[in-house]
């Protein structure tokens, strides 16, 4: 029977599709307006609108995002990436390691912060090896999506579907999805997606420069002194064997040994402990040198490296500075400002003195390694001006990071074994991270995506409205009439196609909110198993490769990769079709 509520819900669904496709109001406000209208006309009660805030899956999503942000700030992933990628010398070698490692991590960590951590690493590797980042960033996003689809917690889309399962009223006693319900399709597709890029997909990737790469003058050239530490792997090797000639963007200028300078460095020169190596390079290359595990230290830094949090910053000496005509050795910069000078840049002039003997001039740019007190000590000085923060380094006690990562793994295992709910495991771990001071309570709100949380809550309310009004039943019967001639497998293909294209051109959250109640109603009306109709919606919405707007990690790499909209369709459409056929085939074998 056609009712006012049914017509209103159908109009609201049309409004959501048009608004999201044309980007009229933005995703959050679109869902908010839609649900408020449904509430105003009595389709939804205030309790039904707000019930999503009490949904356990939403709390799990928020906490996983918090842990992703905490792990990102601890730099533990950076250290792991350094070990994984240190031996990658070729394009295929780096691509292979990147896709497998990111897919593996994404299965258990939220993929958005993971991609955020990996992007600078990809860019730095590309700069060192003179390869365009556009050859890596789409595979990076797709690897994160492939890994995220393999478990319940790998992507917020799967958790939204689980939340919808709990909130639905069509089927009684249908509990939340288990953490490994997605593995039967997700794991094979990680392998297939990897092979797709290694043997064919990489050919479809464009080679483009980021627009910022053409801007000149951002990177200043510095001379930086480093010293070979005790037990360094460089000791006993000659210059050629050490690989110091192969550091892209960095040039070994001289070696200082026993107060003697060796300007013409022979490839056969044997390196020794305490040798001072002087490199020339731009700002980003100097930072990269510090990150590398070469067994080099910066003598001027001293005990600063032991501080929990340090930063690399750039300053410029002012024209009326009291530091002018003084050497760095006499200034004692570290005692005054809690910062060590590790490089000096002077326009159109080569500095040949030892760093400690450099006499400062107005306009000199200094690269500093600064401690916690640098900002407070330099706030009122007129001796220099702050230019930029280059990089932040953060250290933690050795036991804290394994405790955090191990606790997360333990929470996942205990949840999979149904010993404790994932929510309880994560809340205990979150409290432990505060007690161990791995994170600060003031920093926690910064890691929450409030827009995402609100969209999910409104999506749950929309699903309730579709079921209550009969819209889900009406549309489900319409689709049944179209796809029933193709059998049960044909119906799954139809659901997948509709969800995938809706997710690609509006958002995957909207696709899930609209299609899930329809798909579940189809299963009920046809008296078929519920799980394939639930999982097919999750896979189709989350495995979104065709457009940059279809998934958040695609949007993250869109600009930095210098991509065009069509690049995603060119690379992602074949992978989407492969994913669809594999999904439907496996679900049909498992459940029909």
Clarify whether residues 28 and 126 are in a common domain.
yes
Among residues 333, 364, 394, which one ends one of the domains?
Answer: 394
Clarify whether residues 456 and 424 are in a common domain.
no
Clarify whether residues 203 and 350 are in a common domain.
no
Concatenate the DSSP letters of all residues of 306-319 into one string: GSSEEEEEEEEE-T
Chain-centroid distance of CA 462 in Å reads 29
Which distant-in-sequence residues (6+ apart) come within 8 Å of 511 by Cβ? 499, 500, 502, 503, 537, 540, 541
Clarify whether residues 163 and 16 are in a common domain.
yes
Q: What is the pLDDT of residues 206-223, one digit of tens each?
A: 987 644 444 333 456 777
pLDDT reported for residue 130 = 79
Concatenate the DSSP letters of all residues of 366-415 into one string: EEEEE-TTHHHHHTT-SSEEEEEEEEEEE---TTHHHHHHHHHHHHHHHH
Element of type H or E holding 257: strand 250-257
Clarify whether residues 467 and 411 are in a common domain.
no
Q: What is the pLDDT of residues 56-76, one digit of tens each?
A: 877 887 887 777 777 766 666
- Domain assignment present for 230: no
pLDDT reported for residue 433 = 84
Least confident of 131-135, 173-177, 490-494: 173-177
Tokens of 373: 């007190």
Clarify whether residues 201 and 62 are in a common domain.
yes
CATH number at residue 337: 3.30.70.1450
- Domain assignment present for 313: yes
Clarify whether residues 45 and 192 are in a common domain.
yes
Q: Using alpha carbons, select from 212, 231, 274, 224 the residue that is nearest to residue 249.
A: 224
- Domain assignment present for 231: no
Pairing label, strands 339-345, 276-282: unpaired
Clarify whether residues 63 and 173 are in a common domain.
yes
Domain that holds residue 541: 4-208+446-591
pTM of the predicted structure, to 2 decimals: 0.70
Residue 572 has pLDDT above 60, yes or no: yes
In this prediction, residue 464 has a pLDDT band, given cuts at 50, 70 and 90, of confident
- Domain assignment present for 433: yes
Clarify whether residues 82 and 146 are in a common domain.
yes
- Domain assignment present for 213: no
pLDDT reported for residue 417 = 84
Concatenate the DSSP letters of all residues of 497-526 into one string: HHHHHHHHHS-HHHHHHHHHHHHHHHHHHH
Element of type H or E holding 222: strand 221-228
Clarify whether residues 477 and 367 are in a common domain.
no
- Domain assignment present for 484: yes
pLDDT reported for residue 348 = 59
pLDDT reported for residue 149 = 94
- Domain assignment present for 216: no
In this prediction, residue 533 has a pLDDT band, given cuts at 50, 70 and 90, of very high
Clarify whether residues 389 and 421 are in a common domain.
no
- Domain assignment present for 256: no
Phi-psi sector, 233: left (phi>0), alpha (psi -120 to 50), beta: alpha
In this prediction, residue 264 has a pLDDT band, given cuts at 50, 70 and 90, of low
Instruction: Look at the chain and report how many structural domains it folds into.
Output: 3
pLDDT reported for residue 215 = 38
Clarify whether residues 427 and 452 are in a common domain.
no
């Amino acid at each position: 029977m056609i009712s006012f509520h049914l017509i209103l819900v159908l109009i609201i669904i049309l409004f959501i599709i048009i608004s999201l496709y044309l980007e009229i109001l933005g995703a959050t406000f679109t869902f908010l307006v839609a649900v408020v209208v449904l509430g105003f006309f009595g389709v939804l009660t205030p309790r039904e609108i707000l019930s999503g805030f009490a949904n356990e899956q939403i709390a799990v999503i928020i906490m996983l995002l918090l842990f992703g942000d905490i792990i990102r700030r601890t730099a533990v992933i950076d250290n792991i990436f350094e070990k994984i990628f240190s031996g990658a010398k070729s394009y295929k070698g780096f691509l292979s390691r990147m896709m497998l490692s990111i897919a593996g991590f994404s299965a258990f960590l939220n993929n958005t912060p993971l991609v955020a951590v990996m992007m600078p690493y990809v860019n730095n590797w590309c700069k060192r090896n003179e390869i365009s980042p556009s050859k890596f960033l789409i595979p990076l996003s797709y690897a994160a999506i492939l890994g995220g689809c393999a478990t319940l917690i790998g992507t917020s889309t799967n958790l939204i579907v689980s939340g919808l399962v709990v909130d639905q009223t069509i089927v009684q006693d249908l509990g939340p999805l288990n953490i490994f319900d997605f593995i039967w399709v997700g794991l094979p597709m990680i392998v297939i997606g990897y092979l797709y890029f290694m043997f064919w997909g990489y050919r479809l990737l464009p080679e483009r420069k980021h627009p910022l790469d053409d801007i000149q003058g951002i990177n200043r050239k510095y001379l930086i002194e480093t010293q070979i530490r005790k037990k360094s792997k460089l000791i006993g090797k000659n210059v050629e064997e050490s690989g110091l000639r192969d550091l892209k963007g960095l040039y070994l200028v001289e070696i200082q040994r026993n107060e003697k300078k060796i300007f013409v460095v022979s490839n056969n020169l044997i390196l020794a402990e305490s040798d001072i190596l002087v490199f020339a390079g731009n700002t980003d290359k100097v930072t990269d040198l510090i990150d590398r595990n070469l067994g080099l230290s910066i003598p001027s830094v001293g005990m600063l490296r032991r501080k929990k949090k340090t930063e690399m910053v750039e300053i410029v000496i002012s024209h009326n500075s009291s530091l002018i005509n003084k050497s760095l050795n006499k200034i004692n910069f570290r005692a005054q400002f809690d910062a060590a000078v590790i490089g000096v840049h002077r326009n159109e002039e080569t500095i040949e003195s030892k760093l400690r003997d450099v006499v400062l001039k107005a306009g000199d740019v200094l690269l500093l390694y600064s401690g916690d007190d640098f900002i407070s000590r330099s706030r009122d000085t007129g001796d220099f001006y702050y230019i930029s923060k280059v990089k932040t380094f953060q250290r933690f006690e050795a036991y804290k990071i394994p405790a955090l990562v191990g606790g997360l793994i333990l929470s996942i295992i205990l949840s999979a074994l149904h010993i404790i709910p994932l929510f309880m495991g994560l809340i205990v771990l979150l409290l432990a991270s505060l007690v161990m001071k791995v994170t600060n309570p003031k920093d926690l709100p910064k890691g929450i995506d409030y827009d995402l949380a609100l969209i999910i809550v409104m999506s749950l309310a929309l699903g309730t409205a579709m079921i209550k009004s009969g819209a889900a039943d009406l549309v489900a019967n319409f689709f049944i009439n179209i796809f029933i001639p193709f059998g049960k497998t044909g119906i799954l293909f139809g659901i997948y196609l509709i969800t995938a294209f809706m997710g690609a051109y509006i958002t995957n959250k909207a696709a899930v909110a609209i299609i899930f109640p329809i798909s579940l109603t189809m299963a009920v009306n046809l008296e078929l198993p519920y799980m394939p109709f639930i999982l097919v919606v999750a896979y189709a919405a989350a495995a979104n490769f065709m457009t940059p707007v279809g998934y958040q990690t695609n949007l993250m790499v869109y600009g930095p990769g210098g991509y065009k909209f069509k690049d995603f369709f060119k690379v992602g459409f074949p992978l989407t079709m492969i994913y669809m056929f594999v999904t439907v085939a496996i679900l049909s074998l498992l459940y029909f």
